[in-house]
Structure 1
Amino acid sequence: MPWRAQGMMAPSPATPLGQGRALPDAAEVINLWPQGVGAGRLRDFPEVVTERSREPATIHDRALHGISTPRMAVFRPQKPNGAAVLITPGGGYVRVVIDREGYELAQFLAQRGFTCFVLFYRLPGEGWASGPETALIDAQRAIRLIRHRAATYGFDPAKVGTIGFSAGGHLCADLAARFATKAYMPIDEADAQDTRPYCAAPIYPVVSMTPPLAHAGSRTQLLGDAPTPEMEALHSPHRQIPADAPPHFIVHAEDDPAVPVGNSLALRDALKGRGIKVETHLFERGGHGFGLRNAKGLPAEIWPQLWLGWARDKGLFA
């Protein structure tokens, strides 16, 4: 049965992260579920922001877990180019990386005309009745809300792309593969919007849920300690590609020590097998989690410019 959002009014979505320097550049936040997720929570976790930077006064490297109020931080461009991007940061489904795989890309793209939405999705392993579908539920709701508010922000509701990193890359690929899945019951008029992204860009993504290719940590957080083969297949995006999947842009470093490059290759092969347009960039060096800042000076540094050229070619923006 599709999950239904319900319950009491949630606290302000800006409250948990709005203290001090925690979210200094998120001027606007959209709560995904205005009436809260209610009974969907099986146990309580406090929201916690962890600062991992050695020089937090000059550069942040924050991560968030215990997300009970899923939401989007909005980055508006000065000159909209007519397109929007939903960004799903990584974190192994244990946390959501705020800066390196969220805000920095959002700022970069907003400077180039994109209206950007950084998604703080619920973490399946933290105890939700919706289980492995929890993050997909939030991603589907997010893209519907983005399209529903397109006129407010000044972009074409059809032109909503997605970019995701690592476990957030899994969520990006999962949304692109299972956009037609009715993951939750509609709650308002926004839920009449389409959930198919215009295009998808999984960056060093977790894809397979089957060992040895699977990223063990993400697999456990998403599916538990002993998932069935059927669960592994359902939550491995490369095994769920529909005939009408959106075009994909895939990036991976071959020296990635955390998520084997075979994940991206499996996704590419599956897309090719279904006749879906896909562009793939494999870099000799880059490691894992490079985002923008950690790619500097490495071959992978050029990936954002490559994405811009690809997205323009695919018609996301002119």
Structure 2
Amino acid sequence: MITRRATLIGSLAGAVTAQTLVPRVTGETMLLPDPTETIDLWPGDAPGLPSPPPQERTVERSIDPRRPDRAVTGITRPRLVVFRPARANGSALLVAPGGGYARVVVDKEGFEMGRLLSARGWTVFVLFYRLPGEGWADRADVALADAQRAMRLIRARAGHYGIEPARVGAMGFSAGGHVCADLATRHAASVYRLIDAADALPAKPLAAAPIYAVQAMDPALAHPGSRELLLGPNPSADVVRAHSPAANVTAATPPIFMVHAEDDRTVPPANSVVFREACKAAGVPVELHLFAEGGHGFGVRGAAGKPVALWPALFAAWAKTYGLG
């Protein structure tokens, strides 16, 4: 049930004017319209803004207008892009696209997922998170801070979106999978100064789905680019452990759903296997699907015609068992 308290908090944390728009590329022609509803995460500047600040830039990497592939860098206004379903099922999903912590890949792991999942009834919030290598203070925690703040704002506005505050899950891909797994394991970590009534709400997702996720920060398993951008050069063993989600799994970690391809040459599937083992050891419900073929970054478009294309249906069935959907 949507409580009176949640509705009140929603009004306190509620409508903010002049929200940051969806990124555009000069001259682009989109066959599918972008959503126009966005939510800025922070009033004013995001915490730890560098000087000079990064400049947001969007690059279209596809030459096929039917398959846009925009990459965004320099995000100084972290925000959510909202995909509303025609018939809401009362649940929401926070979706963090990948991009190796060098960019946020908004189409194939963000907007495509927003359209697919909202068609199944979820209200979907695609996260434009800050990139740790762009000069932010507390670099290793800026994306987690954005994810925590996003979860709290979604719950604060639950009444507005017709969702139940408890029924908010998280999903992420590649480096966005690290954001998702970090949120699942460190949802209660204090990584930013609380600023308003929304921050009284929990950041813990009801369930979490890191998909072909960067997880380990140990050099033996880590995706080198993501590790360096997140942690900087020569991080200590304590810093590596603090930002490896498998090392932070506890009984408070929500149920976990994972998908990985055995032929992933970018992020070794052992990242997901190690995370599964940590969940099992802590008594956390976990489901891992390993597919022989799929490579890295398949999302939906890259899975077409392969057995791995089943993964969204597998996720939907799994999510329902935990009341998410």
TM-score (norm 2): 0.91
Paired residue for 2:303, among 295, 300, 308? 295
What one-letter code is carried by the residue in structure 2 that aligns with 1:41?
P
**Cα distance in 2, alignment partners of residues 117 and 49 from structure 1:** 19
8 Å CA contact 2:22–2:35 kept in 1: the answer is: no
Deviations 1:104-133 (A, max 9, x none): 011011111100000000000011012111
Cα distance in 1 between the residues matched to 2:261 and 2:163: 33
Task: Note if contact 1:42-1:129 (Cα within 8 Å) is conserved in structure 2.
Answer: no
Query: Structure 2: which amino acid aligns with 1:252?
Result: H
Q: Percent identity?
A: 52
CA contact (8 A) 1:199 1:247 kept: yes
Which shows bigger deviation, 34-43 or 226-235?
A: 34-43
TM-score of the two chains, using structure 1 as the length reference:
0.93
Quick check: 1:59 aligned with 2:67?
yes
Pairs within 5 Å for 1:85-164? 85-164=93-172
**Could you tell me how far apart the structure 2 residues matched to 1:101 and 1:186 are?**
29
- Within 2, Cα distance between the matches of 1:19 and 1:143? 32
Once residues 61 and 40 of structure 1 are traced to their aligned partners in structure 2, the CA distance between those partners, rounded to angstroms, is: 27
The 8 Å contact of residues 263 and 293 in structure 2, kept in 1 or not, is answered as yes
Shift of 1:182: 1.1
Instruction: Give the one of 43, 46, 51 matched to 2:55.
Output: 46
Shift of 1:214: 0.7
Aligned to 1:31: 40
The SS at the match of 1:305 is: helix
Q: Identify the match of residue 318 of structure 2 among 306, 310, 313.
A: 310
* Structure 1 residues 171-200: Cα deviation after superposition (integer angstroms, max 9, x where no partner): 100000000101111111111110100000
Aligned to 1:229: 237
Residue in 1 that maps onto 2:215: 207
**Structure 1: 5+ residue stretches without partners:** 1-8
2:21 aligned with 1:14: yes
CA RMSD of aligned residues (A): 1.8
| Inter-partner Cα distance in structure 1 for 2:158 and 2:269 | 35
SS in 2 for 1:49: strand
Task: Call closer, same or farther: CA 1:10–1:110 in 2, change over 3 Å.
Answer: closer
What is the distance in 1 between the residues matched to 2:67 and 2:222? 32
Q: In the superposition, relative to structure 1, how do residues 207 and 22 fare at CA in structure 2: closer, same or farther (>3 Å)?
A: farther
Secondary structure, counterpart of 1:147 in structure 2 = helix
- Partner Cα separation in structure 1 for residue 156 and residue 146 of structure 2: 15
Contact 2:294-2:303 within 8 A present in 1 as well: yes
* Equivalent residue number for residue 5 of structure 1: none
Give the aligned partner of residue 4 of structure 1. none
CA contact (8 A) 1:67 1:121 kept: yes
Question: Residues 102 and 22 (structure 1 numbering): CA distance in 2 closer, same or farther, change over 3 Å?
Answer: farther
SS of aligned partner of 2:246: helix
1:10/1:35 contact within 8 Å kept: no
Q: Is the 8 A contact 1:10 1:34 kept in 2?
A: no
Q: Cα deviation per residue 1:197-227 (whole Å; 9 max; x = unaligned)?
A: 0000000000000011011000000001111
Which amino acid is the alignment partner of residue 277 of structure 1? P
Over 3 Å counting, the alpha-carbon distance change for 1:142 and 1:95 in structure 2 is: same
SS of 2:21's partner is: coil
- Name the counterpart of 2:6: none
Residue by residue over 1:209-262, the C-alpha shift from the partner in whole angstroms, topping out at 9 and shown as x without a partner, is 001101100000000111110100000000011211100001000000100000
Match of 1:244 in 2: 252
The secondary structure found in structure 2 opposite 1:69 is: coil
| Distance change >3 Å, CA 18–CA 198, structure 1 → 2 | farther
Structure 2 counterpart of 1:3 = none
Q: Which amino acid aligns with 1:46?
A: Q
For 2:312 and 2:23, the matched residues in 1 are separated by 31
Counterpart code for 2:192: Y
The count of aligned residue pairs is 308
Tell me the secondary structure at the aligned position of residue 274 of structure 2: helix
CA contact (8 A) 2:25 2:59 kept: no
SS of the residue corresponding to residue 293 of structure 2 reads coil
Please report how far the alpha carbon of residue 80 of structure 1 lies from its aligned counterpart in structure 2 after TM superposition: 0.4
Distance in 2 (alpha carbons) for counterparts of 1:112 and 1:177: 27
* Aligned residue identity for 1:222: L
Give the Cα separation in 2 of the matches to 1:152 and 1:209. 38
Distance 1:262 1:22 in 2: 40
* Residues 38 and 255 of structure 1, relative CA distance in 2, 3 Å threshold: closer
